[in-house]
Amino acid sequence: MTADAHMPLPTRVHAFGDDALGEHDAVALAALVRAGAVSPRELADAAVARAHQVEQLAAVAYPSYAKPLIPAERTGAFYGVPTFVKDNIDVAGMPTNQGTAAFRATPARVHSGYTRQFLSTGLTVLGKSAMPEFGFNASTEPPHAPPTRNPWHTGFSVGGSSGGAAALVAAGVVPIAHGNDGGGSIRIPAACAGLVGLKPSRGRHVVSGLARTLPIDIVSEGVLTRTVRDTAAYAAAAERYWRSPALRPIGRVEGPATRRMRIALVLDNVAGPVPAGPTRDAVERVARTLESNGYSVEPVRLPFDVAIENAFLHYWGLLAATITTTGKLLDRRFDARRVDDLTIGLRGFFLRRAMHAPLTFYRLRAAAARYERAVGPYDAVLLPVLGHTTPELGYLSPTVPFEELIERLRAYVCFTPINNITGTPAITVPGGRTAAGLPVGVQFAATRGNERTLLELAYLVESEQPFPRLSS
């Protein structure tokens, strides 16, 4: 049901209940389908009913409830499990609106290359999940539509850009949802919503759409889930469809490693140390968990300063300038006058510094070697996901004046972009809670191709610090 505009929204919202979905994760639901205990249609119907229960979250960009995309063949690790796809990749028969009001897309004629890989796992697609315009913001608050709300507290952001996906999974509508990550867009909403979010290595999956044309491919595709085993099972299933010969295989990861690892602990960003509070507490709590299991945890500072932050922002601006200039290739009705103020501001930021583009590319490309030298001696890096806890809605709205919003984003999104720049993997897991009950995520990162290590570490944290659920 939709919340009455004159009634205050409840602060905590979820749709978990005694139906076909129950509180199962995707692995468990797929097992029930294989056993004949439940059908894909029953799961789809239950998920649709749940989506209607939490419409106040504004997490769905395009519902396809009357025509769910159920795979014709009973194959794939997740056959029959319902999901949503983020509104920036093509699914045949559904529009791809990129979270913008600048055009209204017609239904895509064919699946994108990555969509085919995603669907190979057997998932049933119920529609498209909400996102900020072109994925540029770290909060899902499009000015032309209601903001996507955090189900843990509806007055707060659920992050971005895969915010709709995070809200749907955390609220129990579906156990797994597609997301992608060009600067933290899987990991940030996972942190805000108490979920698991893996950003794979560059080249780990089929590359399609805009990513194929980027001078530096910073975008990784993946999923948001409530359990580590769902994320691990998805990685293995996607790899069965296509595996990069340039990367070591992930395979099926089913628990923590038996070996003891050497972990680098990072608690500084370009602005200085993370101050005392829930964000720092969550990382230090996980560090103690690792040490209690025999792991070595050593403080390290990454070799980057504000120059790499500026280079990434400049590159983000290049993307905004490119989209607004070539938008009619997306849709002939594209109207650049209707893009939001953040996109306009990013475009201007780039154009005022366009002559520095070669230096930007050099700095971004050189970062991978510097990162490898710093963290190569370690099995993984433990660090915050964000510079501070989840803000209230409005704080990161694209209607905030551009210069002020950018400074807020710099302070908030200060740990995630480096893995997009370097093409290295990172995973978010729940690490703590704020006094208001909002989740706080922590992040593990590694060198390129080492997703298996990250999943093993995530399993360990999950076993030692069971992840909170909205249903409990």
- Phi first, then psi: give them for residue 341, nearest 5 degrees: -70, -30
Residue 161: active-site member: yes
**Are 246 and 361 a contacting pair, CB within 8 Å?**
no
- Distance of alpha carbon 242 from alpha carbon 204, whole angstroms: 9
Torsion of CA 335, 341, 346, 350, to 10 degrees: 70
- Distance of alpha carbon 68 from alpha carbon 41, whole angstroms: 9
Omega of the bond prior to 208 within 30 degrees of 0, cis? no
Burial class (CB in 10 A: 0-12, 13-18, 19+), 85: buried
Cα separation values, 203 from 80, 234, 380, Å: 28, 16, 20
**Are 430 and 439 a contacting pair, CB within 8 Å?**
yes
Catalytic site residue from 185, 201, 220, 397: 185
- Distance of alpha carbon 332 from alpha carbon 410, whole angstroms: 34
Cα separation values, 360 from 11, 310, 423, Å: 43, 8, 16
Residue 162: active-site member: no
CA 176, chain centre distance (Å): 12
**Contacts of 469 by beta carbon, 8 Å cutoff, 6+ apart:** 16, 23, 194, 226
List for the chain the helix, strand, coil content (%; round to 5). Answer: 35, 15, 45
- Distance of alpha carbon 439 from alpha carbon 433, whole angstroms: 4
b/e code 18-44 from CB counts within 10 Å (16+ = b):
ebbbbebbbbbbbebbeeeebebebbb
Angle of helix 341-351 relative to helix 306-326, nearest 10 degrees? 110
Q: How far apart are the first and last CA of the chain?
A: 22
Give the DSSP H or E segment for 128.
strand 124-129
Length of the chain: 472
Nearest residue to 54 via CA among 133, 148, 175, 128: 148
Nearest residue to 87 via CA among 51, 116, 130: 130
Catalytic site residue from 64, 86, 139, 157: 86
Cα separation values, 279 from 207, 285, 296, 367, Å: 33, 10, 21, 26
Catalytic site residue from 139, 157, 161, 162: 161
User: Would you please indicate which residues are annotated as catalytic (active-site) residues?
Assistant: 86, 161, 185
